Structure 1
Amino acid sequence: MEVVIGVLLVLLLLFGIGYFVRRNVYREVDRLEARKIEIMNRSLTDEMSKVKNLNMTGQAEELFERWRAEWDEIITTQLPEVEELLFDAEDHADKYRFKKSKQVLGHIENMLNAADQNIEQIIEEIYELVSSEEKNTTEIEDLREQFKKAKKTLLAHGHTFGKAHPALEAELLKIYEGMKEFDAETQSGNYLAARDILMEKSEEMGVLANKIDLIPSLLSECTSAILLQLSELQDGYREMAEQGYFLEHIHIDAEAEKIRKRLLAFKEKIEETEIEGIQEALHEINESIETMYDLLEKEVHAHHYIKTETDKTETELFELDKQKLQTSEETELVKQSYQLTEQDFEKQRHISKQISMLRKRHDQLKLNLVKDQIAYSVLKEELTELEAQIQMVKAEHDAYRQMLLALRKDELAARQQLSELRLLLKESLRMIQKSNVPGLPDSYKQLAEEANQTVKKATAKLEEIPLDMVAVNVLLEDAAESVKKLTSETEEMVEHVFTIEKIIQYGNRYRSKDAHLAADLREAEGLFRNFHYNDSLEKAAAALESIEPGVLKRLESSVEEEISKIK
């Protein structure tokens, strides 16, 4: 029983598989059938009707007949064969010959693809033929117009082409023969062959038109314009040489001869209508001539510059020589009072040596001018460099002189600062005296003595000969720091004394009421009489603030008023 069931299941499975495979075959048959119908409906009648408007002879007729035969082959032979093969594919599927059915369907697919490609090829060839006829109709008129224009130019201006005229006429005739051949091919229905001829002759016409456009100007440049420039250039060269210009470094005659040979070769090529690269070469020649003109002009400008600037340079050197002597004298005077370094003396010697070298170079330059054996442009470069070096030496010289002046300025500034420091010392003493300070703490006395000593040391150093300003400035800085500290200490001590007095005076109102306050104030007074002003202020202030907070703040303005009276 189980075996029977197993067999039945296998049969059902095979039947199911066969059913699905046959259904897929039928679907593929339907699809290919639809493609076949689509191809049958793609009538080429409309496309081929476009060709009938052409001359149906020659190439056009041959193509038309071939296209029609290929279309008939598709409709009458290939598609009926496809129909039969579709039936075969279905029959194979019904008999479960699926592999054979698949092979037939693949063959049908290839046949339909080939038919499609054949139809597309026919349509493309029809378009090419028809469009060639349309383009030919338009472009031949353009070519004829260019031909007429070229012929008219050659007739009207034949003399401007020189010996190139016959060759140009021959090229134009060749194009004319090509147009005649084009017309013949068109009349014979050979539109594609006519198209090839037209494209070839249009390209030749473009080249010829370019030659006709350029040759007259190229010939003019080779035979007259450039030669005229060369003659003018050589005349100018000889005239300048006669005027005394040294021009041996500008080889104009040799360069002119080379250019004339090149122009002769260009002329021969142009007469053979071979103009490729000649326009660029003539442009290079013109640039070369322009460069030679520039070189001559450079010599003229250089000559003018030398005439106007040489005397100015000599005047500057004369002034520099005079200043050098003055600076040497100033150095001798300054070193009697000031301590100059070896580097300072070396700088002065270096500047003096530089000025002497500049004088020698200038004398040599004047000698070269007399000899007339050096180009003015070279001399101008030397003069320009000499002027630049003069300015550099002048700047060094001015800096050295400013250094000498700076020594005196530093001395005067030091004396002024010492005077101000002495005044500050006096002001501190006066403030002490006017404030009725009961006595001075030892630390303050030591600070005052130190300030006085540093000022005296700086003053003594400033009076030494030779004067060492580096050492003076060091001592001066110490003195300024000491005096500044003393001034600050003085102001602080006087402020403390005045504040203590105000606190004690104010606190007297509480003495009889508060024994603790009275004791603190007595201790503060004792510290005050022993010159311990800081400790006295702290003691008195703390005692009074405990009774009447904020009282110090209220007393500040009164203290400031008292201090302002003694300043």
Structure 2
Amino acid sequence: MTQIGHIVIGLIVVVAVVYLLIFILQRWTAHQVAKMAIQQQEWQDAGTRDRIVEDRKMSLMGQTLADFKTLEAQFNQFEEVDLGAAKEQTDKVLFDTKGINFWETKRQFKHLQQQMAVLDEQFEHINAGLQKLETTDAEHKAAVKELESKYKDLRKTLLAKNFTFGEALDKLEDVLAALEDEFADFTKLTEDGDHAAASSVYETLAMETNQLEERMVAIPELVQKLDQKIPAQQSELQNTYDNMVIHGYNLQDQDIQKELNQIETDRQTAKAALAELTLKTVQSKLTGMQAQIDQIYASFEQEYNASLDVQKGLETLQAFLGHVQEQNQELSTMVSQYSENYIFDMSNAEAVQGWGRKLLTIEKQLDDIQLSIANQTIVYSKTQGHLQMIENELKTIEADQLHLFDNLKILPEIGRKAKENLEQAQEELRTIHRRVERQGLPGVPSNYLNFFDQVVSRVEKLSDVINAPRINVDEFQRQMSVVSADLDNLKEMTKQMLEAAQLTGSLVRKANQYRDNAAIGQAVQQAQREYNQFYNFDQAVQILGQQLDRLEPGTTARLQQQIQQDYLEFS
């Protein structure tokens, strides 16, 4: 086959493919157009025309009639003009799909799609408008029946339970009558088919009806509070107050009668507000009245409980006062007795007298409280705090008196201990003196002798204080503290002096081993002079010890340690 033949065959294949593609697209378009034709038929068979005929029987008027006529005109346009044009376009496109001019078919199909979209929107709008009209008509007719029944029930309730509405009854009847007049207008508009105007009336009517129902539910409880609960509480409070006044109760900074009168004034104001159906004002007044009533109840309860506490506390405090006064008398007697044998801080006696005066003041305060109860001038709640202050003061006085009693009680023991301490100090002085004498010393250093004489003098003064007809406790304790410290120092000085004297003797005996050493001999002479002439035993140890330590290092320390060990064993 020649090359030209191949080209011809290829062209034939391409043309066949293109033709096949056009055929398929044309068939698809024809299928879509057929579906649109079915939709057109469904619109025509939907019964919208019959619906309009039926709706026209509702005897519409006013804005509602105008809206209906608009919808009817729109459907006429839809059915007689627009739908017919769409059908013609449908037939044209179906005819075009049988040809091969695909591009013309596509253009006409697109135009048909636009027509169908507009028709669908028009159809939905018309039927929605008709549905709204029919629904509104049904709702208004149902509302007429519902409201008619509701107003009958409300009227029946007002007649059967008129006593539960109190001062609000007349106003409620006026409101119901006005609603019934509005309902008559709404009924006529509904029956006439003027649903647009009826909707406006119904909106207000429904809101006001609900408001009336809510008021009729709320008012009986308000009336019950205003006519029963509050008056009952007022009566109870008035009787309680009168009874409390008879029994001598006084309320602190509170004019109960004035408050009770104000509650009644507020109650009358609330009843007047109820008559005008201003329920927020009524509720506000009720809240305020109840709060005031609760506060008065609380005041009564507080004062009554306070009276029980005061009467019980008064009895307890009087017994406690008697105990503390008896304690004060015993303490005063003790101070007087001990002052014969002891000299102590005069502030103690003054304190006892001061406590006695305070106790007399407290006794008068308790007597005044008893008198105020008898004269019915007491405010129990205020007196509670006063009694607590008295109790605290009595506890403080009792504790202070017990502390002084404990201090005085040990004075005889202090006196006995004082004599024991004096005898012990004197014995320690004699022991020190005997010990020094046993050492056979040529003498003692002047500073030691002076301190020893000082300690002796202080012990003698301590003896004078202790053996006086009246022991000055403070002076004894002061001097005893000084003597104890001096004795400790004297014993330490004695120990050091005797150790130095003994160490000197040991060093001299050690030095005899080196008698041929000139330096040792000279040191022995100097040490003996310090020892025998000046009684400077520490200096003697230093002079001789230095020389011996040069020959035998550690000699002085070794001998001193031995002497201290012997001293401990002797002690």
Are residues 1:516 and 2:519 paired?
yes
TM-superposed deviation, 1:456: 0.7
CA contact (8 A) 1:245 1:375 kept: no
Aligned 1:369-448 pairs, distance under 5 A: 369-372=373-376, 374-377=378-381, 380=384, 383-402=387-406, 404-405=408-409, 411=415, 414-432=418-436, 437=441, 439-448=443-452
Q: Which residue of structure 1 aligns with residue 127 of structure 2?
A: none
Are residues 1:453 and 2:457 paired?
yes
Q: Which residue of structure 1 aligns with residue 563 of structure 2?
A: 559
Q: Which residue of structure 1 aligns with residue 230 of structure 2?
A: 226
Residues 264-293 of structure 1 deviation map (CA, whole Å, 9 limit, x = unaligned):
212332443434465555444333222222
CA contact (8 A) 2:344 2:474 kept: no
State the alpha-carbon separation in 2 of the partners of residues 519 and 403 from structure 1: 66
Aligned match for 1:529, one of 510, 532, 551? 532
TM-superposed deviation, 1:493: 1.1
CA contact (8 A) 1:324 1:352 kept: yes
Counterpart residue type for residue 537 of structure 2: Y
Residues 19-67 of structure 1 deviation map (CA, whole Å, 9 limit, x = unaligned):
xxxxxxxxxxxxxxxxxxxxxxxxxxxxxxxxxxxxxx99xxxxxxxxx
TM-superposed deviation, 1:470: 3.9
Are residues 1:268 and 2:302 paired?
no
Aligned 1:472-551 pairs, distance under 5 A: 472-512=476-516, 514-530=517-533, 531-551=535-555
State the alpha-carbon separation in 2 of the partners of residues 486 and 231 from structure 1: 94
CA contact (8 A) 1:504 1:521 kept: yes
Task: Specify whether residues 532 and 231 from structure 1 end up closer, same or farther in structure 2 by C-alpha distance, changes over 3 A only.
Answer: same
State the alpha-carbon separation in 2 of the partners of residues 234 and 370 from structure 1: 24
TM-superposed deviation, 1:389: 3.8
TM-superposed deviation, 1:464: 2.2
Q: Which residue of structure 2 aligns with residue 328 of structure 1?
A: 332
TM-superposed deviation, 1:161: 6.6
Aligned 1:108-507 pairs, distance under 5 A: 163=168, 165=172, 218-240=222-244, 244-247=247-250, 251-276=255-280, 279=283, 281-339=285-343, 343-372=347-376, 374-377=378-381, 380=384, 383-402=387-406, 404-405=408-409, 411=415, 414-432=418-436, 437=441, 439-507=443-511
State the alpha-carbon separation in 2 of the partners of residues 529 and 509 from structure 1: 22
Deviation larger for 387-396 or 168-177: 168-177
Name structure 2 gaps, 5 residues minimum: 1-65, 68-142, 187-194
CA contact (8 A) 1:418 1:459 kept: yes
CA contact (8 A) 1:454 1:479 kept: yes
Q: Which residue of structure 2 aligns with residue 35 of structure 1?
A: none
CA contact (8 A) 1:431 1:566 kept: no
CA contact (8 A) 2:249 2:380 kept: yes
Task: Specify whether residues 262 and 422 from structure 1 end up closer, same or farther in structure 2 by C-alpha distance, changes over 3 A only.
Answer: same
TM-superposed deviation, 1:364: 3.8
State the alpha-carbon separation in 1 of the partners of residues 499 and 340 from structure 2: 49
State the alpha-carbon separation in 2 of the partners of residues 405 and 365 from structure 1: 37
CA contact (8 A) 2:266 2:285 kept: no
State the alpha-carbon separation in 2 of the partners of residues 173 and 411 from structure 1: 112
Residues 437-463 of structure 1 deviation map (CA, whole Å, 9 limit, x = unaligned):
554223322221211111111110232
CA contact (8 A) 1:172 1:208 kept: no
Task: Specify whether residues 172 and 501 from structure 1 end up closer, same or farther in structure 2 by C-alpha distance, changes over 3 A only.
Answer: farther
Deviation larger for 217-226 or 479-488: 217-226
> SS of 1:549's equivalent?
coil
Counterpart residue type for residue 482 of structure 1: D
Task: Specify whether residues 340 and 483 from structure 1 end up closer, same or farther in structure 2 by C-alpha distance, changes over 3 A only.
Answer: closer
CA contact (8 A) 2:270 2:285 kept: no
Taking every aligned residue pair, what percent have the same amino acid on both sides? Answer: 18
State the alpha-carbon separation in 2 of the partners of residues 174 and 566 from structure 1: 133
Task: Specify whether residues 268 and 428 from structure 1 end up closer, same or farther in structure 2 by C-alpha distance, changes over 3 A only.
Answer: same
| TM-score using structure 2 length | 0.58
State the alpha-carbon separation in 2 of the partners of residues 550 and 445 from structure 1: 32
TM-superposed deviation, 1:316: 2.3
| TM-score using structure 1 length | 0.58
Task: Specify whether residues 397 and 279 from structure 1 end up closer, same or farther in structure 2 by C-alpha distance, changes over 3 A only.
Answer: farther
Counterpart residue type for residue 516 of structure 1: A
Q: Which residue of structure 1 aligns with residue 92 of structure 2?
A: none
State the alpha-carbon separation in 1 of the partners of residues 279 and 555 from structure 2: 113
TM-superposed deviation, 1:546: 1.7
TM-superposed deviation, 1:359: 2.9
Task: Specify whether residues 440 and 263 from structure 1 end up closer, same or farther in structure 2 by C-alpha distance, changes over 3 A only.
Answer: same
State the alpha-carbon separation in 1 of the partners of residues 390 and 471 from structure 2: 39
Task: Specify whether residues 161 and 545 from structure 1 end up closer, same or farther in structure 2 by C-alpha distance, changes over 3 A only.
Answer: farther
Counterpart residue type for residue 456 of structure 2: N
State the alpha-carbon separation in 2 of the partners of residues 175 and 489 from structure 1: 127
Q: How many residues align?
A: 409
Task: Specify whether residues 439 and 372 from structure 1 end up closer, same or farther in structure 2 by C-alpha distance, changes over 3 A only.
Answer: same
TM-superposed deviation, 1:561: 1.2
State the alpha-carbon separation in 2 of the partners of residues 465 and 399 from structure 1: 26
CA contact (8 A) 2:306 2:384 kept: yes
TM-superposed deviation, 1:536: 0.7
Q: Which residue of structure 2 aligns with residue 111 of structure 1?
A: none
Counterpart residue type for residue 455 of structure 1: V
State the alpha-carbon separation in 1 of the partners of residues 520 and 214 from structure 2: 123
Residues 225-277 of structure 1 deviation map (CA, whole Å, 9 limit, x = unaligned):
333322332343345556x3435876544422321220221233244343446
Cα root mean square deviation, aligned: 4.8
Residues 379-422 of structure 1 deviation map (CA, whole Å, 9 limit, x = unaligned):
55554444344334434544554554465565455445434433
Task: Specify whether residues 308 and 538 from structure 1 end up closer, same or farther in structure 2 by C-alpha distance, changes over 3 A only.
Answer: same
CA contact (8 A) 1:245 1:376 kept: no
State the alpha-carbon separation in 1 of the partners of residues 278 and 304 from structure 2: 41
CA contact (8 A) 1:521 1:543 kept: no
Task: Specify whether residues 259 and 554 from structure 1 end up closer, same or farther in structure 2 by C-alpha distance, changes over 3 A only.
Answer: same
TM-superposed deviation, 1:357: 3.1
CA contact (8 A) 1:502 1:559 kept: no
